[in-house]
Amino acid sequence: MDRSNRPSIVGEDTVSFPYPVYLKSYIIPGFGRGSSELGIPTANVEQQEFDKLNIGETGIYYGWTKVDKSDGGEYTNRNESGRDVHHTFGNGLDPEDYEVHPMVMSVGWNPFYGNKKRSAEIHIMHKFKTSFYGASLRVVILGYIRPELNYVSKEALIQDINTDIAVAFKSLEREGYKKYQKDKFFE
C-alpha cells in the first residue's frame, strides 16, 4: 500500500451536499488510546448524537469545532475499560481553548456496541493543557478526506493521520470553508 502520494487538498471549492453537517455533544471518555498509544488525543462523541447525523460512511472527515464549558461539578470515575477518568466539564481551560479550531473526525465501528454501530471521535488541532471530559462540543463537518483503512503498523497510521491534519488545514483555507469558522452555530 503506497500512501506517499495522497492529494494535499480534498473536495470541491465550495461546501457541497450533504455538508455542512452540524453536531452537538458532550465529550465522553473513549478507551484513552488516542493519547497514550498514538500521541493523538481525540474527543469522543456521544453515540446518540452521532446517530442523528446523516453520516453513513466510515472514514475521515474535516471541519471546525468549538469546546465550551458545561454545567457540572468535577469528579473522577472509572470507565468501562477500567481507566480513571477525571471530568472537568471544561473548567480550567484557557481562553484560547474556547476558540473555533480546525478538526479531523474519525468515523469507525464502535467497540462498545460490538462494532455494530458507527461512532465518531474528533482530533482538535489545538494544544489543550488539561483534559475536558464532560465539556460541550460543537462541530461543523464540511467534507470527507478518505475511507478508514487497516494499518500494518502504528507508525503507518500516525503518518496517515498527520497527512489528514495537513489536508484539513489546506482544505479549510478556501474561502467557502473558512467562513464556517465564524458560523452563527458557534456563537
Q: Residues 18, 98, 111, CA angle at the centre, nearest 5°?
A: 55
Which H or E run contains 47?
helix 47-51
- Taking CB positions, which residue lies at the least distance from ligand RBF? 106
DSSP-assigned letters across all residues of 135-177? -EEEEEEEEEEE-----S-HHHHHHHHHHHHHHHHHHHTSHHH
Is the CB of 88 or the CB of 106 nearer to ligand RBF? 106
Is the CB of 72 or the CB of 108 nearer to ligand RBF? 108
Is the CB of 6 or the CB of 86 nearer to Mg ion? 86
Which partner from the list Mg ion, ligand RBF, none does 31 bind, CB cut-off 5 to 8 Å by kind? ligand RBF
- Torsion sign over Cα 130, 133, 134, 140: positive
Alpha carbon distance 91, 95 (integer Å): 11
Q: List the end-to-end C-alpha distance of the chain, in Å, as a whole number.
A: 43
C-beta of residue 106 within 8 angstroms of C-beta of residue 136: no
Catalytic option among 49, 57, 96, 121: 121
CB of 134 to ligand RBF, least distance (A): 19
User: If binding is defined by CB under 6 A, does position 104 make contact with ligand RBF?
Assistant: yes
CB of 44 to Mg ion, least distance (A): 5
Q: Respond yes or no: is residue 121 known to be catalytic.
A: yes
Place of cell 469507525: 108
CB of 75 to ligand RBF, least distance (A): 23
Which partner from the list Mg ion, ligand RBF, none does 154 bind, CB cut-off 5 to 8 Å by kind? none
Is the CB of 40 or the CB of 55 nearer to ligand RBF? 40
Which partner from the list Mg ion, ligand RBF, none does 33 bind, CB cut-off 5 to 8 Å by kind? ligand RBF
Which partner from the list ligand RBF, Mg ion, none does 44 bind, CB cut-off 5 to 8 Å by kind? Mg ion
Catalytic residue set:
121
